[in-house]
Amino acid sequence: AQTVTQSQPEMSVQEAETVTLSCTYDTSESDYYLFWYKQPPSRQMILVIRQEAYKQQNATENRFSVNFQKAAKSFSLKISDSQLGDAAMYFCAYRSAGAQKLVFGQGTRLTINP
Amino acid sequence: DVKVTQSSRYLVKRTGEKVFLECVQDMDHENMFWYRQDPGLGLRLIYFSYDVKMKEKGDIPEGYSVSREKKERFSLILESASTNQTSMYLCASSLLGTEWGQPQHFGDGTRLSIL
pLDDT score, position B99: 61
Q: Are B19 and B34 within 8 A, CB to CB?
A: no
For B47-76, the DSSP string reads: EEESSTT--EE-S--TTEEEEEEETTEEEE
Q: Are A52 and A111 within 8 A, CB to CB?
A: no
Write down the mean pLDDT value for chain A: 94
Contacts of residue B88 in chain A, CB cutoff 8 Å? Answer: 43
Taking the C-alpha atoms of residue B36 and residue B60, their distance in angstroms, rounded to an integer, is 9
Q: Which of residues 21-60 of B touch A (CB under 8 A)?
A: 31, 33, 35, 40-45, 48, 50, 58
Give tens-digit pLDDT for B6-23.
Answer: 999 999 999 999 999 999
Helix and strand totals (H; E) in chain A: 0, 12
B19 has a chain A CB within 8 A of its CB: no
A104/B43 CB distance under 8 A: yes
Contacts of residue B42 in chain A, CB cutoff 8 Å? Answer: 4, 6, 91, 104-107
pLDDT score, position B101: 58
The CA distances from residue A97 to A34, A108, A109, B16, in Å, are 10, 25, 28, 40
Nearest CA in chain A to B92: A45
**Best residue in B6, B43, B45, B99 for a mutation probing chain A (most A CBs within 10 Å):** B43
From B39, B45, B69, B67, select the one nearest B57 (Cα to Cα). B45
pLDDT score, position B100: 56
* Rounded average pLDDT over A102-111: 96
pLDDT score, position B42: 92
Give tens-digit pLDDT for A25-63.
Answer: 999 998 899 999 999 987 789 999 999 998 889 999 999
A9 has a chain B CB within 8 A of its CB: yes
Interface A–B counts its CB contacts (< 8 A) at 51
Cα B87 from chain centroid? 12
Q: Are A67 and A57 within 8 A, CB to CB?
A: no
Residue A98 binned pLDDT confidence (cut-offs 50, 70, 90): confident
Chunked in runs of 10, what are the mean pLDDT values of chain B (115 residues)?
A: 88 97 94 94 94 92 96 96 97 78 86 96
A59 CB-side CA count, 13 A: 19
Residue A1 binned pLDDT confidence (cut-offs 50, 70, 90): confident
The CA distances from residue B40 to A9, A28, A89, B71, in Å, are 7, 25, 11, 33
* Rounded average pLDDT over A85-90: 96
